[in-house]
Structure 1
Amino acid sequence: MLRRLDDGAMTWSDGYELLQDRGINQERPMNGSDGYEMTIGNRVKALRASRAMTQEDLAGIAGLGLATIQRVERGLPAAAGTIASLAAAFDLTASDLTGDNDTPDHQPYVPLTSITTGRQLESLLAVADRLDFGFGEIDDLATAELIEELETFCSPSGAARTSPGAVTLVKQQMAARNLLASLAVAGLAVTGANYSLNCAEIDDDMGAGMPILMAQWTSECAVIRVAAKETPILRAYIMDGLGSYEVPAEGVVWPQRNDGAEEWASI
């Protein structure tokens, strides 16, 4: 977990000036790489899912009515003002959202795989010291309770849940298997992955002084996403949740920059 020695408000890009270039650190959905052409409605759904947002969440951020979000996602025509508001909510340009720019998805992401067994889930959690848990749109309380049960089960992660005894470990795996089975019966898919972060503790006197590196370490993260089986979440866009001095490392895909230059990984 990132630790700060001051209370100054900072962004992830502090110290990484290249990340401030608009169009490099922004996200847009895939377009045509798998033969599937996304409409604006499908793009909005995909972007919501990647951020674990509900339609109500998006409506609030975009300053639009819930009915407007629902109409857009059903594929009905959207006014230019509506498109602009939706794009701003995702920190995109309108052309990014509509697909008018022939550019690849360019925000770093963690590719997720299906989690179907208790051993898979326990293995993912055992090596992590922090958890990134999210879910897609849910429309009933019974399903929400199942998802909350999974989130509770996944905490704590790392050494706090590791037991030297085989019996305890098998019990944990069986409990995880039963919970995953209940989620599957409810029509939900669980996806996840691990990735690492390079973290630093910086003292910059609340932005008034020269930054001083106090400590640095690697943090292991577990990402868990829950969504409907028909629309599983296969990518986790994790940049928005990072601290000022946390840089994704192993397990993160760094798409090529829009200008065709060297990849993010070379920065």
Structure 2
Amino acid sequence: MDWYHSEDAPEPAEDEPRLMAAVLGPAFEASPGELELDVERVLGWDRDGTRVHCLGFADVYAVDVASGSLLWTVEHGLDHSWWDHHSIPAAFDPGGTRVAWYDAETLHIADAATGADAHVAEREDASLLVWSGGGRLAVGGPGGIRIFDQGGEAHRLPSVPVLEKAVVADMTGLAWSPDGQRLAVVTGDDAVEIWDLDGDPGRVASFDGPADAAAVYWGTALAVLSVERVLFCSPDGTPINEIEFADEPAGWSVAGKWGWPGEWA
């Protein structure tokens, strides 16, 4: 079930599955008055599919799928203020070992199996959290980008990614290359920057993206999205193809909620 928290929660029909009960099993049914967890976003699964990590209204938590047991939970305390800024305050490492999240003051990089902090830093102005496939974490905010590796903060980049133009839940103004050595940044002036992080960081390319560029994805090529079009190009900016959408959307589904293009300005 999905609803806005300003509204009363709907009662499920008799034949409608209790979604949280299906996920949490006996732990949910045994203490409905004590355990209040919701799923705003599924952050990711561990590699063998036995553990799922979720972001809720006020918590980040992990559930053992086989037993339905709650493995750990931490409170981020931001409630739904993060919706107002189109930012998601938690991200799961694709490698399956770590989860990053922030509260009002602190950035946490934790063990995904236990929830125990492996590294803690000041949040500063953190807004975007994006993991590479190799275990690096890019933390973007109005003051630039911080890069964390296994040893903690390793680099700071002066580029400021676009922050309040989220287009889809899994794409932001930051994207790692498949090998985890380079980072693409969509800036607020519709430019795309490529940073090489193999050794000392350096900007190796900068080129124009589509007007009102909002997000980037890095696969075999770069895909740079705006409200009206998507640009496919190589990492040096050489265009491959550009597709204009037939209609401007009335709204986009962002992490399960609706946002309208006029709200992104």
More strand per residue: 2
More helix per residue: 1
Regarding TM over 0.5, the answer is no
Higher RCO (CA-CA < 8 Å; seq separation 6+):
1
TM range (shorter): under 0.3
TM-score computed with the length of structure 2 as normaliser: 0.24
